[in-house]
Amino acid sequence: MARVRAWVGGALALALGAAVAGCSSTGGKRAEEAAEQSGGKPAVDTPRWTVAMITHSGQGDTFWDVVRKGAQQAADKDNIKLTYGANPEANEQAQLVQNAIDQKVDGIVVTLAKPSAMKAVVQKAVKAGIPVLTINSGAEDSKKFGALAHLGQDEDVAGEAAGEQLNKTGRKKALCVLHEQGNVGHEQRCDGAAKTFDGTMEKLYVEGTNMPSVESSLEAKLTADKSIDSVLTLGAPFADTAVKAKDSAGSDAQISTFDLTAGVAKGLGDGTLSFAVDQQQYLQGYEAIDLLWLYKYNGNMLGGGRPVLTGPQILTKEDAADLQKYAERGTR
């Protein structure tokens, strides 16, 4: 248990360090102010490089909207043309990477939620001389595929932190809701939570693209098993659905989630949600673009071959007031 706390503490220190660096020198608010003062001109005079960001989820997703906003604010500062593409189907995501290679972009940022489907095309980009960074998912495969660095949270450690928090709140039986089958990071979160949780942890697989189905599956499970006293969702949109299912089932289970949005911050504040595991996705978008600019401009790279951690942070009701304003502006 002490080892887990040490890992979480280290991740938090790194995440906070990145946050301070991002906010004090190259952060989103500073970038916005600089852009206003310069009439919208970039803060640098380097060539107009093009970077493609390609993820396994995209526009309209509250989590990825924040990633994209961070990326765009860094791109505006760094005189980078940012293109964004996303597809939950791994083969389609791989095709988007291939399109970026064909367009001879100057850099690629990509997620590896389903690494086996992305391996060949990422290696093809590297072979073509295009610098690649991975973010969010796929830390274990990033270096093997040839990426320069990975930015995100350690999903095992994040899960372990969630399990410890469940212990602190006195939970005995928890349900971990997986909304995207085949996503290795999601499995790691649940497995990590089960590792440190002193009670019983059960997995529930749901169809994440069909929210009514998610709600009915949760409601049925909570109705059938009143001993479940905690539900852990792996994405912010599913937390609200879990709250609805809990109310419909007449359950007393507490609801917790991974990731932060304005809705989650509000839920923490009013007590609807117990805690959130935040991976600071704004940093993943912002720092990935900024790091590619640094690499192109000055040959810099962070991590030394290891993932650059942006989380986890455990957020509770005590944090809600400060987080709300950032979440509402779309940067947390």
Cα 22 from Cα 200, distance rounded (Å): 39
Residues 164 and 291 in one domain: no
Tens of pLDDT, residue by residue over 54-77, are 999 866 688 899 999 999 999 999
Residues 253 and 178 in one domain: yes
Residues 148 and 294 in one domain: yes
Tens of pLDDT, residue by residue over 176-199, are 999 998 898 999 999 999 999 999
Asked if 254 contacts 230 with a C-beta cutoff of 8 angstroms, the reply is: yes
CA distances in angstroms from 101 to 56, 132, 204, 313, listed in the order given: 17, 11, 38, 35
Q: Is residue 331 part of a domain?
A: no
Q: What pLDDT was estimated at residue 25?
A: 36
Residues 149 and 287 in one domain: yes
Q: Is residue 323 part of a domain?
A: no
Residues 136 and 81 in one domain: yes
Residues 68 and 136 in one domain: yes
Question: How confident is the model over 1-23, as a mean pLDDT?
Answer: 40
| Amino acid (1-letter code) at residue 100 | A
SS3 of 105, please? coil
Residues 134 and 66 in one domain: yes
**CATH number where 176 lies:** 3.40.50.2300
Residues 6+ apart with CB under 8 A from 325: none
Q: How many CB atoms lie within 10 A of CB 295?
A: 17
For the chain, how many structural domains are there in total?
Answer: 2
Q: What pLDDT was estimated at residue 10?
A: 45
| Amino acid (1-letter code) at residue 227 | S
Residues 7 and 145 in one domain: yes
Q: Is residue 285 part of a domain?
A: yes
pLDDT band at 33; cut points 50, 70, 90: low
Instruction: Give the ranges where 25-154 is alpha helix by DSSP (H).
Output: 28-37, 62-77, 90-102, 115-127, 139-145
Q: What is the pTM of this model?
A: 0.81
Domain that holds residue 251: 155-278
Tokens describing residue 240 = 């609200």
Q: What pLDDT was estimated at residue 14?
A: 42
Q: What pLDDT was estimated at residue 6?
A: 39
pLDDT band at 294; cut points 50, 70, 90: very high
Residues 123 and 248 in one domain: no
Tens of pLDDT, residue by residue over 95-129, are 999 999 999 999 999 999 999 999 999 999 999 99
Q: How many CB atoms lie within 10 A of CB 291?
A: 23
Q: What pLDDT was estimated at residue 98?
A: 98
Residues 6+ apart with CB under 8 A from 102: none
Residues 11 and 148 in one domain: yes
The CA R_g of the chain, rounded to the nearest whole Å, is 20
pLDDT band at 210; cut points 50, 70, 90: very high
Q: What pLDDT was estimated at residue 315?
A: 96
Residues 264 and 204 in one domain: yes
How many percent of the chain have pLDDT more than 70?
87
Cα 175 from Cα 233, distance rounded (Å): 8
Residue 17: pLDDT above 80?
Answer: no
Tokens describing residue 184 = 């290795």
For the chain, the straight-line distance linking the first and the last C-alpha, in angstroms and rounded, comes to 29
Q: Is residue 23 part of a domain?
A: yes
Residues 84 and 179 in one domain: no
Residues 6+ apart with CB under 8 A from 149: 133, 134, 142, 291, 301, 302, 303, 307, 308
How many percent of the chain have pLDDT more than 90?
79
Q: Is residue 59 part of a domain?
A: yes
